[in-house]
Structures are given as structure tokens and as C-alpha cells.
Amino acid sequence: MDIFKVKSLEELKNLGKFRELVTKFKEATGNDKKVNLRSWQALYEAICDYQQSKKSKTLKGKKVENSPYFLSKETEIIFYLMELDGEIRVKKLGLTKSHYNNKKKATKWRNDIAKLIHPDKCTHPMAAEATSKLNSIYKEMVGNEE
């Protein structure tokens, strides 16, 4: 089985030895940097993040490539925030379990989106509401620590 098709930590552990899988992950992703993969959980989260990054478009890009439905990345994200909920919204916004476990990662996620949809930068009529919704989701993610 391919390490990028695992759906659970247990599946990953059954694939082989930890060090071999870390090497396989780094080779497959072209990741020569020193990534902190010192546990099964860290490796699994890195794989999930990689899978998600391959599925979703970057939030930093302004234009939505290959999308006949949205005029811009801003309108796409505002739609996801305002019209979707639950698991589908989480998926469309590119959230993973690691966002809920890592405040720094959650903050980066929120800031990347806020740069696109904040009413100071975005002229969409629902930009203010969407920014408020984004902040609400973020507060839920970090457990209202702010």
C-alpha cells in the first residue's frame, strides 16, 4: 500500500518500519529539509497535510484555476464560509486534524484566508460577515485561548 493512501494511524504503522516510511515520505515529497518526524503521529499528520495540499488549491493564489463556478479565490472562500457547514466546509477550507492540535498552524491558516477576504482588501459584499465567520471558526479551533 502507498503511504499516501493511508486513512488511519494504524494503517500507517502496519506498512513497515518507521524510519523506512519517513525516508519514503521525504523522497516522495522532495522534502530535503529537516522535518520533525520523530513519531508515528507526526509522520501521519505530515502525510495528511501533504494529501490535503495535493487536493486543495493554494489559498494564496488570487485566481481560481480550473473552476467554472467562482470568479476569484475570494468568492470561493466566502462561499465556503457562509454557505457550507460541517465536514464539507472543513474539507473545502483545507482543514485537517493537525490544525485543531497546533495553534501556530491554525493561526497561519486563518491569517492566509483573512489576507484574501478581509473587507479592507476584498470588495465582496459579504467580506465582513465572512471574516467574522472565519474568526469564529478559528476561535473554536484554538479553544477560545485568545
Distances in Å between the alpha carbon of 93 and those of 24, 26, 138? 28, 25, 12
- For residues 104 and 75, membership in a common domain is answered with yes
| Rounded CA separation 8/102 (Å) | 19
Please tell me whether residues 63 and 116 are part of one structural domain: yes
- Domain of residue 27: give its range: 3-54
The answer to pTM > 0.85 is no
Confidence at residue 23, expressed as pLDDT on a 0 to 100 scale: 86
Residues 67 and 80 in one domain: yes
**pLDDT for position 63:** 44
- Do 26 and 41 reside in the same domain of the chain? yes
For residues 125 and 110, membership in a common domain is answered with: yes
Based on the domain organization, do 34 and 67 belong to the same domain?
A: no
| Blockwise average pLDDT, block size 10, the chain, 146 residues | 83 90 82 71 82 55 54 88 92 91 93 94 92 95 68
d(CA 96, CA 131): 20
Q: Show which of 54, 74, 97 is a domain's final residue.
A: 54
In a shared domain, residues 47 and 94: no
Within 8 A by CB and 6+ apart from 139, the residues are: 146
User: What was the pLDDT predicted at 120?
Assistant: 92
Q: Would you state the cell numbers that stand for residue 121, as one nine-digit string? A: 482588501
pLDDT, position 9: 86
DSSP string, the chain: --GGG--SHHHHHTTS-HHHHHHHHHHHHT--S-----SHHHHHHHHHHHHHHHHSPPSS-SSPTT-SS-SSHHHHHHHHHHH--HHHHHHHTT--HHHHH-HHHHHHHHHHHHHHH-TTT---TTHHHHHHHHHHHHHHHHTS--
pLDDT at 73: 86
- Comparing CA positions, the residue from 62, 142, 63, 129 lying closest to residue 95 is 142
Nearest to 3 by CA among 51, 36, 38, 35: 51
Chain-centre distance of CA 17, in angstroms? 27
Query: Are residue 50 and residue 106 in the same domain, yes or no?
Result: no
Count structural domains, the chain: 2
Mark whether 88 and 137 lie in a shared domain: yes
